[in-house]
Structure 1
Amino acid sequence: MAESTQERPKGIRLVVTTLYTLMANHPEICFGIFVIVTSIISNYSSSVLDKNVLSPPKNPRPFFPVGSAVLDHPWGDLMPVADLLVTEELLVVMYYAPWCHDSVQAKTEYMKAAKVLENRVPFVAINCWWPQGACKTNYKFLRFPEIYVYHTTIDGIRYSGPLSAEYIVRFVEEVIYPLTFLYSEDMILNFVSKQDNSLIGFFDFNSSPQPPGFIQFYYAAMRLLEKNPLQPIRCGVITQQFLADELGLVDTDEIIMIRTFNESLMYPPTKNFTSSNIWAWALLHKEQPIVQWINLPGFKSLELSTAINKGPALLVLAPVNHVYKTNYYLNMVREVGLLYHYCHEVPYLEFFLRQSIRDRADFLHSYTGQKDLCKSFHQVEENQFSYPDRNCCVSLIGAEKGLQNSKKICDFCRFMEKKLTPAALQPCNLGLSPMFSEEAVFGSNIQTPFCLDTYENYNTNEYRTLCCRECKIDLSYKSCASISSRRSSDSFVRQSETWFKRNICKKLTLQKTQNLLKPSQFIGDFDAMFIPVNFTGSACRTNRTLNIFFLDSSVSSALHEKLDIPSPFSVEKPSVIIVDKKNEANYILREPFSRKTLAKFIQNYTESALERHLRSESPKSSCGTMLQGNDVCVQEVTSQTFHSVVMQPEKDVVLLITAQWCGFCSSFSHTYLQLSKYFASAQDLLFAKIDADKNDLHWEFTLDSYPTILFFPAHRKEDSVVFPSNFPKSLPNLIKFILAHATSDLKTDTIVDVCSKACVDHNRKRVIHVMTHLRARRRNIKRRINLLLSRRARGRSLPRGSLQSLWRRYRTVQRKIWNASLLQKLLFSHTHERLSQSVLKKHFVNILKDGDSKINKIKHDEL
């Protein structure tokens, strides 16, 4: 056994030796084997690479929770939506991507909107990112989410407003009712007063249930909502000939565009009456709104840039409660804008202002009534749940005898033609026939549990209904309940009334969940005499006309930080700022917001009486006395502290101007710290820096490149100097720059503090040279003085003042020699390192201040 184990290694060595000999003698065989093996490996590896090594995507999960009012289709199916459009006239669809942050944030808002409009409009969501889904195959969206409102007969209407529940609800409701029917001149004036551009069409419904062109006008109104969901061109419809005559509309299917400050336009009869032509014509000829509502989409766009590039812009950032149709603060700003642009006679302008004030007042007063309505509505629903028979109404149709022991009485009310106020506000004219008299009613034995309404299909201009009210047993007709407690016997009217009340309650709930400003929290401003002197029409009397823009402060809250609006101006109160891009200036309204202060603010800008607003960070902590050893400190400056830090009269200040986005500024900071450390011992030199991206500077210090270094010399701040941009910002160059513009005290400090042994040796030679030169001058002056004295002794006259002048020069040179000799003694002292800096500085200052002496050329080492 042992022999076999010993022979095994010998056999292996023999095989290896044989292979090595074979490879050495026949290399071509080895090469062939290598090629075969490589081919096998490459073929195997390529077959592996051909296989799908990516894991398949996970099956999509429902994006919306179970039980929500949204129909979710995570597999991207489109057929259920098409089937739903067969039964529903209107449909709201959100296309989303599950990974998209905006889609995730919009999910909650979309569910809230669906809850408010539940049982009115279906809300659907489709995953348009699932690769195998029909949505991904058919639609190519550039971003998510996308919201569309689909109508049974037209393509989808894209929603481009804020992804907030109240905005979505408002948009869908306006798509449901895109037209406003106008039945009187007052209604037309009220309709026109609310917007700058209005489309009104005349359609005769007496001749046809669907007049020619009406459906095209209806579709055009929806498309105009799509183009601008926040400030669309509103569309109205008149059906009466005498109103059409007032507007100059002769034939049916004619359209007029009414503009506030320009003449009205008629739709060209030569154009085809199609929806696309109508909305394209309206957008082409509309006038610029007096107050333009800007919607910042939340991603990179040119909305705000386009507005500011038009000229000086007045931006009003105010809260909006989009649950209500009245935009309170927008109306306030528009009232000011109407007077600002009132350059020529405008019909009905005073009516427009009064109507706007009336709408705002109704907006504030409606909140209490709506709260009471919801409270009573919930109580009625509870009572109806307990007593379902209270909605029943006893029919009087065909009754020949009175009712006995009845708790129900029905009154037949007829509303006359051309009564244009709502039916709920009209008195009920009881023109009862004899068969419906009090005696007949109480003498009847008929007690049917329902009402037979003979006017199922009635003319809307001649509204008829049956009204019910409660009565007690065996009481007379006059003791019945008040008219306000009567209920309509028309089931459609009752259902519409119930939906109306329930919709108000849902919107009040939405207002609470969205934390929207309640009407009671808005600023009350209804004074008609708010106009400053010479304000009306001032937009046409100056070349500094402002374009007025309105923004929702809750949607555009990032602008508060970007524009550095002071903290007291929160998103709950309107903030006003003027942005003058051409002059690179911003101005902020600092008084409490009102129409009067806004008008005065505009007037002050026109008269150049406003102070420019400088954006500023919070003040930074200053460099205190806590520095130890070789520590250095660079003072951070803001717009608020700029004057107190940089403009200190006793200090030389070096200011570094940077920006947060500047990459080279970060790399240069190390050099700037070295520079401050080099001059660390200089007591009257301060190093500071400021972030110009967050802090506005005054005009004279505004720069267009970063980093930039400014030097402010002591006692001469007006002579500030910029470091040349054509020189490298190296440490030697920066030191030369500072010393070249520094005061004598700073130069002295630097000479004393940084002068090395080589510097001392160099200056010793310079002092010896200067001493020799000064002594030669002294000898020359002394010789000339002696010469003059000898001439005077011989009785000769001397030039006037010559002797006194020579003595003054002699004393000056003598003083310089004394200072230079003392400096020479100090420089040649063996204890130079222990010399007091104050002593050196004293003599250096005396020498450097001498403009005639060459000693001022003493300098420290160049690095």
Structure 2
Amino acid sequence: MSLLQLAAKEAKILSSTSHDSNDNAISESLDNNSSSCTSVSDNIEVGTGTDLFRDDGENLTITLRMLHFCRDLAIFCFVMVTYAALAKDPPKVSRAPVAYPFFPQTTILTDWYRGQISKAIENARSSDVAFIMFYAPWDAECQAARKEFQLAAEYMHERVKFAAVNCWQPQSECRTQYNKVYRWPVLIAYPPHGRGIQYNGPVTAFHIIQFLQKICNPIMRINNEYPKDFDDAYLIAELNTSPGSLAFAVFYTTALRYLEKDPQYRITFYVKPSNVSQPSLHLHLWNETLIFPISDLPWHPDEILKWIFDNLHQVTSWVLPSGSKSTTLSTNMQNGPTLILFTPRNPLRVRTDYYHMLQEIGQEYHNCEENIIVNIHSMNINSKRSDDLLQYRNLKSLCKLTQNISNRRIISYMNPVWSNSSSCPERKLKKDCELVIKKSINHFCSSLKMENCMEIVPTIMENEHICNSRTVNFPEVYSTSLLTGIHDPRSAENLQKLFQKEKCKQFRVAEKIQPASFEKANLNGTEINISGLACKTNKSLSLLAMDSLLHYYFAQKLGINLNNNTDKSAVVILNNKMESHYILQEPINGVSVREFILNFTKNYLNRSFESDITLNLTSTMHPIYKNPKQEKSKIVLNELNTHTFLPSVLKENEAVAVFYYSKQCSFCNGVAFIYLTVAKKLSYVKNLVFARIDGENNILPWEYTMETYPTILFFPTKWKSESRVFPSGIPITVPNLIGFILTNLDPGLKLQAIWSICRQTKFPEEKSSCYSTLLQETLLLINSILKDWRISNERHKQALLHKLRQLRQLHLLFAHSSQSHGKIQEYFNKLNSYTNSNGDYHGIQQKSRSRDEL
């Protein structure tokens, strides 16, 4: 319905309403004023309805005008926007920087520095195992990982294909697909089948090599023997391993995904081939064996991994801090005291003997019920450690013989001329020929050293074409591939040689990283039993191990220099609640660690005061010069540490002010300037020493440990137990700090401190006022000593008389020769030296009064 129709309808409705006289009068006046509406008023009854109709007509006109205006405005805006869109230049966007190779061109890996991720993955999938580094060229961690990635590629390039992709290049394929990566680099290994496995361990070459070796061989086969190649726990799956087995595929995928979720590799995966219809899975822990509930849970990698991590518990474990701010250590140490073993965890060596020693101790320590399973597990640890030592020695001797493989001579009996059995028709001739060749070879090998003889001919000759005539001509020693007659590089013999070669290669590299360390034999024969000790005390220890090659700085914070130890190992107990730690000083072995744990339980250990500050004791003095050319401007502060604190503050005949600060305290910097200003003003007081100490990094006895920083502690000359702390409610300013020190000084040193302040006053009025105060203090001190002299015995009167003489001379100098600094200093030295040799004033006064009272 249009607006006109609506208005007509309203007028018709209004015309049927009643009107009064007043309305007629108003309508008549309106009709007289407007002649254009006469015809309309004649046909419509005069009244209120006519007036409303007129008002509605005006509203209708305004509405129509507004509609036309809006339409025109919309058309105008559309035209202007269209014009602006056509006339405006395209946005000016800077071009992406030119991509450049991140890795050297001579490297063995492929660098897709333009971000071609599809080509990189396609090329990686063409090999059995591939390892790709997704990087950002500007990232510092990527730049640090570049060299490690190259070293890993040089070591593993024969088995793994290495590649790198620039995933930060703008408008590249990789950047378009993965634009929400918040940390670089991202390292992903691609096995032959399935999705990629991300590497989350330390970005070092040898840890990457360890990860890739486990990717190549995530599962080990086992028959009926007891496994020994594991660290904390192991998993045995008994299932059908025939080609196309779904159960084996699930278990294989589980082993690969486990490497992604646990960088410490605490669990070793074993498979036991069996012709069974339903797989079974056993998780062997230190005190129990758990069976996977296959009837309740589906046989799926996610379910298996969840079940493993929910049930995994152990008495010892490796701690792997992330290298950034994290709560890894606090989570492990918040439940109570913790024993930490710092020892190298060589990634190229399967097991660590010191860690297995800690496992053995931990199982004994937590063996509350003396379970048979625990004892069997402990015995297996002992046998495993013995086997490790034996294998290490054998491998060391074997690899030492084959370390110069390129310089060794290979002995061969093969004749370069091809001959058949007709060359030796007579069987007797054949036997004679074999005998002569054997004797010749034995004679030749006897002239060589054992390490120079690489290959020995077989004792049984299967071929009859050895000799081609009655006269045997022996060939010279030369290299040949016909020693075994097998040209297949994947034959059993060649694979065994390759396996041995790889073992020796890995052994030599592992020895370069860190030689293996084994527990020294117990020559004393003493045995300490800590069986079930964790259940008999409320100070139960958590046993952790930390790689000293990666996390040596944690040991340094505790005052342990691992470089001083050949095995780079140490044992420490941390009690976070008591804010103390204890360091094992004896050589590390099973007896010393057990005794260390037992002494801690019985509170026999002394708290260690070592920290990273105590590792470097060469610089204890830090002079701070305001003006090196002027001796009076030099300020020397003693930088104290754990070892020098008590000898310095408890030194007799010296008053010591100590400034406690922390490197994390920003307010300490402002207070340090005030402290230096006061030290400069009191620099002429000979027996007043100003020092400072880092209270956060230096471990002090409890009575000298401060909870807040900055804190100023003052030790008087004689009564060291009467030390005072600067009040916390008073602001630390130069006048307040000077007043605090003067209040706690002995009378003689107080007088010298006031003179030191007056000496450095520059303005004449202030200098005159300062010396007036000094004269008053001198008279007060003389008056006090005279009172003591009257009540003293004859023994102390001579000492007090000597002091009165020195004070009299000082008073005269202050009044008449205040610029005679040399003489004033001389009398102060005499006063202080006599005081130091005969005791302080208060002590003399107290002793004399007590004797008089007696």
Whether TM-score is above 0.5 comes out as yes
Amino acid of the structure 1 residue aligned with 2:259: L
Structure 1 residues 326 and 263: CA distance shift in structure 2, 3 A:
closer
Separation in 2, partners of 1:679, 1:149: 68
Separation in 1, partners of 2:702, 2:197: 49
Structure 1 residues 765 and 672: CA distance shift in structure 2, 3 A:
closer
Partner of 2:751, secondary structure, is: helix
Partner of 2:333, secondary structure, is: helix
1:606-645 aligned within 5 A: 606-614=601-609, 615=611, 616-617=613-614, 618-619=616-617, 620-622=619-621, 628-645=631-648
- Matched-pair contact (CA < 8 Å) for 1:326–1:363: no
Separation in 1, partners of 2:780, 2:239: 110
1:358 corresponds to which of 387, 396, 407: 387
Q: Which residue of 2 aligns with 1:197?
A: 233
Q: Does 1:217 align with 2:251?
A: yes
Partner of 1:58, secondary structure, is: coil
Gaps of 5+ in 2: 1-82, 435-459, 472-482, 759-766, 846-854
Separation in 2, partners of 1:377, 1:806: 100
Deviation for aligned residue 1:769? 11
Separation in 2, partners of 1:88, 1:79: 15
Separation in 2, partners of 1:62, 1:581: 49
Which stretch shifts more, 300-309 or 764-773? 764-773
Separation in 2, partners of 1:747, 1:286: 69
Amino acid of the structure 2 residue aligned with 1:119: E
Amino acid of the structure 2 residue aligned with 1:293: W
Q: Does 1:231 align with 2:265?
A: yes
Partner of 1:551, secondary structure, is: strand
Amino acid of the structure 2 residue aligned with 1:641: T
Structure 1 residues 847 and 253: CA distance shift in structure 2, 3 A:
closer
Structure 1 residues 368 and 49: CA distance shift in structure 2, 3 A:
farther
Separation in 2, partners of 1:195, 1:393: 56
Q: Does 1:265 align with 2:268?
A: no
- Matched-pair contact (CA < 8 Å) for 1:335–1:356: no
Q: Which residue of 2 aligns with 1:536?
A: 531
Amino acid of the structure 1 residue aligned with 2:694: D
Separation in 2, partners of 1:560, 1:773: 57
Q: Which residue of 1 aligns with 2:547?
A: 552
Q: Which residue of 2 aligns with 1:153?
A: 193
Q: Which residue of 2 aligns with 1:18?
A: none
Separation in 1, partners of 2:702, 2:664: 22
Amino acid of the structure 1 residue aligned with 2:706: L
Deviation for aligned residue 1:767? 10
Separation in 2, partners of 1:96, 1:696: 43
Partner of 2:572, secondary structure, is: strand
Structure 1 residues 725 and 532: CA distance shift in structure 2, 3 A:
farther
Separation in 1, partners of 2:364, 2:672: 54
Amino acid of the structure 1 residue aligned with 2:308: A
Deviation for aligned residue 1:592? 2.6
Structure 1 residues 231 and 151: CA distance shift in structure 2, 3 A:
closer
Q: Which residue of 2 aligns with 1:517?
A: 514
Partner of 1:330, secondary structure, is: helix
1:340-489 aligned within 5 A: 340-343=365-368, 344-347=370-373, 348=376, 349-373=378-402, 375=404, 379=408
Deviation for aligned residue 1:330? 2.4
- Matched-pair contact (CA < 8 Å) for 1:320–1:329: no
Q: Which residue of 1 aligns with 2:769?
A: 758
Partner of 1:635, secondary structure, is: strand
Q: Which residue of 1 aligns with 2:564?
A: 569
> What's the CA shift string for 1:657-686, capped at 9, x where partnerless?
112233222222221122112222222211
> What's the CA shift string for 1:218-239, capped at 9, x where partnerless?
1111111221132332221112
Q: Which residue of 2 aligns with 1:165?
A: 205
Q: Which residue of 1 aligns with 2:491?
A: 492
Partner of 1:714, secondary structure, is: coil
Structure 1 residues 531 and 823: CA distance shift in structure 2, 3 A:
closer
Separation in 1, partners of 2:657, 2:234: 61
Structure 1 residues 496 and 529: CA distance shift in structure 2, 3 A:
farther
> What's the CA shift string for 1:482-506, capped at 9, x where partnerless?
xxx9787985324422431342354
Percent of residue pairs bearing the same amino acid type: 25
Q: Which residue of 2 aligns with 1:597?
A: 592
Separation in 2, partners of 1:172, 1:698: 50
Separation in 2, partners of 1:806, 1:226: 87
1:108-147 aligned within 5 A: 108-139=147-178, 140-147=180-187
Q: Which residue of 1 aligns with 2:218?
A: 178
Separation in 1, partners of 2:748, 2:519: 63
Separation in 2, partners of 1:847, 1:374: 77
Separation in 1, partners of 2:279, 2:105: 48
Q: Does 1:656 align with 2:659?
A: yes
1:315 corresponds to which of 335, 340, 344: 340
Separation in 2, partners of 1:209, 1:807: 109
1:6-17 aligned within 5 A: none
Separation in 2, partners of 1:770, 1:110: 78
Structure 1 residues 123 and 310: CA distance shift in structure 2, 3 A:
farther
Separation in 1, partners of 2:151, 2:782: 94
- Matched-pair contact (CA < 8 Å) for 2:718–2:840: no
- Matched-pair contact (CA < 8 Å) for 1:393–1:489: no
Structure 1 residues 85 and 638: CA distance shift in structure 2, 3 A:
closer
- RMSD over equivalenced CA pairs, Å: 4.7
Partner of 1:269, secondary structure, is: coil
Structure 1 residues 827 and 285: CA distance shift in structure 2, 3 A:
same
TM-score (norm 2): 0.69
Amino acid of the structure 1 residue aligned with 2:123: L
Separation in 1, partners of 2:558, 2:188: 34
Q: Which residue of 2 aligns with 1:739?
A: 742
- Matched-pair contact (CA < 8 Å) for 2:237–2:282: yes
TM-score (norm 1): 0.69
Q: Does 1:688 align with 2:687?
A: no
Partner of 2:313, secondary structure, is: coil
Q: Which residue of 1 aligns with 2:281?
A: 255
Partner of 1:501, secondary structure, is: helix
Q: Does 1:302 align with 2:313?
A: no
Q: Which residue of 1 aligns with 2:763?
A: none
Amino acid of the structure 1 residue aligned with 2:385: S
- Matched-pair contact (CA < 8 Å) for 1:760–1:827: no
- Matched-pair contact (CA < 8 Å) for 1:116–1:503: no
- Matched-pair contact (CA < 8 Å) for 1:296–1:555: no
- Matched-pair contact (CA < 8 Å) for 2:810–2:827: no
Amino acid of the structure 2 residue aligned with 1:704: E
Which stretch shifts more, 701-710 or 84-93? 84-93
- Matched-pair contact (CA < 8 Å) for 1:405–1:473: no
Separation in 2, partners of 1:322, 1:471: 53
Structure 1 residues 678 and 472: CA distance shift in structure 2, 3 A:
farther
Amino acid of the structure 2 residue aligned with 1:611: N
Deviation for aligned residue 1:745? 2.8
Partner of 2:647, secondary structure, is: helix
> What's the CA shift string for 1:596-630, capped at 9, x where partnerless?
32332222222222222222343335599x99435
1:587 corresponds to which of 582, 596, 620: 582
Number of residue pairs matched? 682
Partner of 1:149, secondary structure, is: strand
Q: Which residue of 2 aligns with 1:507?
A: 506
Q: Which residue of 2 aligns with 1:665?
A: 668
Deviation for aligned residue 1:654? 0.4
Gaps of 5+ in 1: 1-42, 242-249, 396-400, 409-437, 448-469, 476-484, 778-804, 853-863
| Higher relative contact order, structure no. (Cα contacts within 8 Å, ≥ 6 residues apart) | 1
Separation in 2, partners of 1:235, 1:163: 24
Partner of 1:161, secondary structure, is: coil
> What's the CA shift string for 1:732-754, capped at 9, x where partnerless?
11112112222233223335555
Deviation for aligned residue 1:356? 2.4
Separation in 1, partners of 2:528, 2:420: 66
Amino acid of the structure 2 residue aligned with 1:350: M
Separation in 1, partners of 2:298, 2:248: 13
Deviation for aligned residue 1:383? 7.8
Amino acid of the structure 1 residue aligned with 2:285: R
Structure 1 residues 504 and 629: CA distance shift in structure 2, 3 A:
same
Structure 1 residues 138 and 394: CA distance shift in structure 2, 3 A:
farther
